[in-house]
Amino acid sequence: MTLSIQDALASVTSRIRAAEMAAARPSGSVRLLAVSKTFPAEAVREAYACGQRAFGENYVQELTGKATGLADLPELEWHFIGPLQSNKTRAVAETAHWVHSVERLKIAERLSAQRPEHLPPLQVCVQVNVSGESSKSGCTLAEAPALAQAVARLPQLVLRGLMCIPDPAAPAEELARQFAGLQQLHARLEADGLELDTLSMGMSADLESAIAHGSTCVRVGTAIFGARHYPVA
């Protein structure tokens, strides 16, 4: 059985509220980012009609295509969450409200330099490779403090926090350990004087564990829009 987008959003929202309560955290302290990658603009429009405002995209062309097609929706907020090559930073700097996947200073510098002056600064997170596998995106835990300090100094960026994508195949205890690692890093950077308010972690399958470890923003695709069909163009 497939749920309508409206029912799926309601169901994900009640999972988030239950996880906040289980973690003794205030109701509403976790934001829902609806990951619309591979789904058409109409699906985003439908979720918007249900009150959802923040949407996540992984591919630059999909982001710009949907942003153009949905320019009539006034409060739509675009979050870029995918790997970002330097030749694609301009389109993201011009279109997105947030980038969760900053993993190198060079990319952050380009985003800052290319952010149009008439727009507010771009909100960013530093992506950290918490699983430690060399094939995965993100800077290492060891590199993160220096990268975060450097990103925080860039004029057209606002560093909001940290993001991770743990190993999806990891058993529950290992997943919890990876979320806890990002939570500890976040606390350490705050102790070092950075003002951070965002821990972007948790997806359809593991949002409860992420919320138990302090997530403030869960990125949920499948549980809202259904299974994705790859490859995308």
The distance of Cα 91 from the centroid of its chain, to the nearest Å, equals 18
Is 139 in contact with 124 (CB distance < 8 Å)? Answer: no
Please tell me the distance from the alpha carbon of residue 78 to that of residue 75, in angstroms, as a whole number.
Answer: 10
Q: Which is nearer to ligand PLP, 48 or 55 (CB)?
A: 55
- Helix axis angle, 41-49 relative to 5-22, nearest 10°? 60
Name the minimum Å distance from CB 197 to ligand PLP: 19
- CB nearer to ligand PLP: pick between 140 and 153: 140
Q: Smallest distance, Å, CB 170 to ligand PLP?
A: 14
Least spacing, CB of residue 155 vs ligand PLP, in Å: 26
Least distance in angstroms from the C-beta of 118 to ligand PLP? 28
159-174 b/e with 16+ CB inside 10 Å = b?
bbbbbbbbeeeeeeee
Output the six-digit token pair for 144: 């993160």
Q: Which residues bind ligand PLP (CB under 6 A)?
A: 35, 37, 58, 81, 165, 203-205, 219-223
CB closer to ligand PLP out of 205 and 232 = 205
Identify residue 115 by its one-letter amino acid code: R
- Residue in the shown chain whose Cβ atom is closest to ligand PLP: 221
Nearer to ligand PLP, 72 or 133 (CB): 133
